[in-house]
Amino acid sequence: MHIKRTGRTRWFVALLIIISLFTVACGSGNSESATVVESGLEGDFLVSGSSTVFPIVQKQAEEFAAANPGVAIAVEGPGSGDGAVKFCAGEVPIGNASRLYKDEEVAVCSENGIDFIEIRRGIDGISVITSPENAVECVSFNDIYALISEEATGSERWSDANSLLAEMGAAGSFADGMDLEIYGPGEESGTFDSFGEIVIESVAKGKTGLDTDAREFVETIRPDYTASPNDNVIIEGIGSGPATLGWVGYAFAQEAADAGTAKLLQVSMEDGGDCVSPTPESIADASFPIARYLYTYVNVAMVDSDPAVAAFVDYMMSDAGLESVAAVGYVDLSAADQALAQAIWDQRTQGRSWS
């Protein structure tokens, strides 16, 4: 059908364009106004996985649902491992992880015919925390090994680590009289895995300067600590005694520190090295030694078959949606990594995308 454009029609069209441009300009920089309402979009689905990534996706889900009332999104955070089980069984369209999916998890996805898109979301610094009453300010990787590794099983005081540190060839000077109560995530958690890989395995592999030929080291975390999949439960435990010790994601740790219920310990990779506090800046430039990336996995078939899932991931990866990363306390990706992550989603790149 051909529409004859009179002068009045052209003027009206021009006016609509001006109004449209003005609306876009006013909406930029505001996540709520930048959210596009998907007219008639309906659906409901579950997002499962990392408790660390949970706050990011929960905020995005709330914003998306507010603009798309026909879509109900439930977000849970039982842990990266538990989320991977559901995702690779085809039970959920989106899985979050505070680490890359393990090779064995990817193998299960493959066996079940689950093709996935792997998206890097942001950066976290696993924070070592203690009670605000504790006089300790900084711990090295060797200190953490002597307190938390499987070799420390059964130790009940901070000072018990001194003899193990001496045996390792390191120096220990923890004061007597401090009971050691440890709280942390359980084995289902990506934070548990990442902490073990970054800290305990680094010591065991000689990356902190110890002579690993002189004695054997373990690569595992002691089993006798209070474990919980709920970061808030860990924080409560940290505040329950004068000399507690634990580890959680940066956003939860900083919130607890701001509330006065926990103290963030500085960390040095080597004995006598620079003690670095977790901050957005130190996490972003990796000067904080326990920094790690966060991820989201998307089921390709479910994205193709469910417009609501596709629209939600579109929002997650939009400029407005990405504001949630820093808003809940984590660190944005570098510009290059963010551009790559958005391209991976836009192009629906399947399989491993990050190493």
Residue 185 falls inside a structural domain? yes
Q: Considering Cα of 141, then 146, then 152, then 157, what sign does the dihedral take?
A: negative
Q: Give the separation between CA 269 and CA 143, rounded to whole angstroms.
A: 10
Q: Considering Cα of 39, then 45, then 48, then 54, what sign does the dihedral take?
A: positive
Domain that holds residue 85: 42-123+293-346
Residue 6 falls inside a structural domain? no
State what percent of residues in the chain have pLDDT above 90.
Answer: 87
Which of 289, 321, 336 is the last residue before a domain boundary?
289
DSSP label of 149: B
Q: Which two tokens stand for residue 346?
A: 């836009």
pLDDT of 317 > 80? The answer is: yes
Residues 145 and 222 in one domain: yes
Average pLDDT over residues 45-56: 97
Residues 206 and 165 in one domain: yes
Residues 230 and 300 in one domain: no
Give the strand order in the sheet containing 94-97.
Answer: 71-75, 43-49, 94-97, 291-299, 116-125
Number of domains in the chain: 2
Residues 135 and 232 in one domain: yes
Average pLDDT over residues 103-130: 98
Residue 10 falls inside a structural domain? no
- Sort 36 into a burial class: Cβ within 10 Å, 0-12 / 13-18 / 19+: middle
Residue 263 phi, psi dihedral angles, 5° rounding:
-120, 130
3-state secondary structure of 122: strand
Residue 103 falls inside a structural domain? yes
Residue 352 falls inside a structural domain? no
pLDDT for 169-196, tens place per residue? 998 899 998 999 999 999 999 999 999 9
Residue 15 falls inside a structural domain? no
9-18, 105-114, 238-247: range with lowest mean pLDDT: 9-18
Residues 60 and 160 in one domain: no
Mean pLDDT of the chain: 90
Residues 110 and 169 in one domain: no
pLDDT of 10 > 80? The answer is: no
CATH number at residue 50: 3.40.190.10
Asked if 193 and 199 touch (Cβ cutoff 8 Å), the reply is no
Residue 76 falls inside a structural domain? yes
pLDDT for 217-258, tens place per residue? 999 999 999 999 999 999 999 999 999 999 999 999 999 999
Residue 30 falls inside a structural domain? no
Which parts of 2-78 are beta strand (E)?
Answer: 43-49, 71-75
Q: Give the separation between CA 337 and CA 122, rounded to whole angstroms.
A: 9
| pLDDT band per the 50, 70, 90 thresholds, residue 39 | low
- Residues 6 or more apart whose Cβ sits within 8 Å of residue 78: 48, 49, 51, 188, 229
Residues 284 and 308 in one domain: no
